[in-house]
A and B are shown apart, each in its own frame.
Chain A
Amino acid sequence: MVSSLAGDSAAYSTLLRRLNGHLRAYYLRRLGSGRAADAEDLLQETLIAMHARRSTYDTSRPFTAWVHAIARYKLIDHFRRTKRRAEDPLDDPDILFGSQDANAAEAQIDVDQLLRRLPEKTRRLIRDVKIDGLSTAEAAERHSMSESAVKVGVHRGLRALGAKIEDGGS
């Protein structure tokens, strides 16, 4: 999303396609599978609203929360228009991003944001070992470091990240 705001069309397209699946599942689950056409309408409306109001995304906050807030708002608005009462709680963010098993991909959007605050070298170490799943030995070879240096680097990086998250993310 950060690249999209800067005008990167390809990144934006990828992002929209990913969200597409989540949003469809979210609306189908909320409306019931008998209302697939409504869900599709809502999905399109949400994508358009996100697009038109993308400048309201604050890059220092989690992207998933922003998308969820819009999706939820559109759903409530739909219920209001169609006079149907919402029978169940609408404000559980997990419903949107837990609704597909590919949610690791979206978590990455937030993870990228966090990682950007670390020094370049530490960031690459954590990405290789903790996200891409390289072994310590492989990472050591790639960065021409000793294995223990990799371990220490990753450990320190994670601790720094933890501290930043506790700080409230700024």
Chain B
Amino acid sequence: MKTDDLITALAGDVTPTQPNAVGRTLGLGLAVGAVVSTAVMVLWLGVRADLMHAMMTGPFWMKFAYALSVAVLGFGLIDRLARPDGDGGIFGPLILAPLAVMVALASFQLFGAPEDLRMKMMMGASYQVCARNIVILSTPIFFGLFWALRSLAPTRLTLAGAVAGTLAGAAGTFIYAFHCNESAAPFVAIWYTCGIAAVGALGALLGRLTLRW
């Protein structure tokens, strides 16, 4: 095909684009994934029985705050990285801030606690399944975001994949927190972070392979 003909064809096929189309596409992928993931959580794990009571306590909100802050920063970051000329800007280093706060909080609790309680604060009652469940609940969101990214134009594929994975992990964690009844900060700092990081690593790996265009 001659390039001139190509240009004519492309120019004939120009429909108005929506403003902020990148954010909308990513938001759609995230939302669809989150709906599926919430359904899986309710049907498979169930919402914690003492939800109403737990809502009155600080640790309950601490978990959501941690997951939500990572997710919000992750969304800001992926919205930039989904564009060809996108760089992380201030969001890049900022995404580690929630982790720093969480680790500080966990250390504070840990060192203030009697020694024989410390192990329990780190391991809780569900350390064997926590990270695994987060990975499972993040999977639908992961697919939603990757579907969105494939129609966008990231040029740093590993980084974009890692950020999309981290965002999916944080969103999956948010949903998992409705089920999980752990309340110690050290547990959250270790196992929630492991879950999110695992999905992030998976994203980095798959980003390179699947996000090419």
Contact = CB atoms under 8 A, between A and B. Distances in A.
The answer to whether A and B come from one shared complex is yes
Nearest to B84: A69
Contact of B152 (A10, A53, A73): A53
Interface string B69-107: 000000000000011110000000000000000000000
B83 A47 contact: no
B109 interface: no
Interface string A73-86: 10001000000000
B76 to A, nearest CB: 13
26 contacts: A7-B15, A7-B16, A8-B14, A9-B14, A12-B11, A13-B7, A16-B10, A20-B3, A24-B3, A47-B6, A47-B7, A48-B10, A49-B213, A51-B10, A53-B152, A54-B17, A55-B18, A55-B25, A56-B22, A57-B83, A58-B22, A61-B85, A66-B84, A66-B85, A68-B85, A69-B84
Interface string B177-213: 0000000000000000000000000000000000011
Given A55-B18, A56-B153, A16 B7 contact: yes
A24 B1 CA distance: 15
Interface in A27-48: 40, 43-44, 47-48
Q: Is chain B's interface secondary structure helix, strand, loop, or mixed overall?
A: loop
B13 interface: yes
A70 interface: yes
Nearest to A4: B14
Interface residues of B, number: 27
Contact of A65 (B16, B17, B85, B213): B85
A5 B7 contact: no
Contacts of A105: none
A10 B12 CA distance: 9
Contacts of B17: 5, 54-55
A7 B85 contact: no
A49 B151 CA distance: 10
Contacts of A61: 85
Contacts of A6: 16
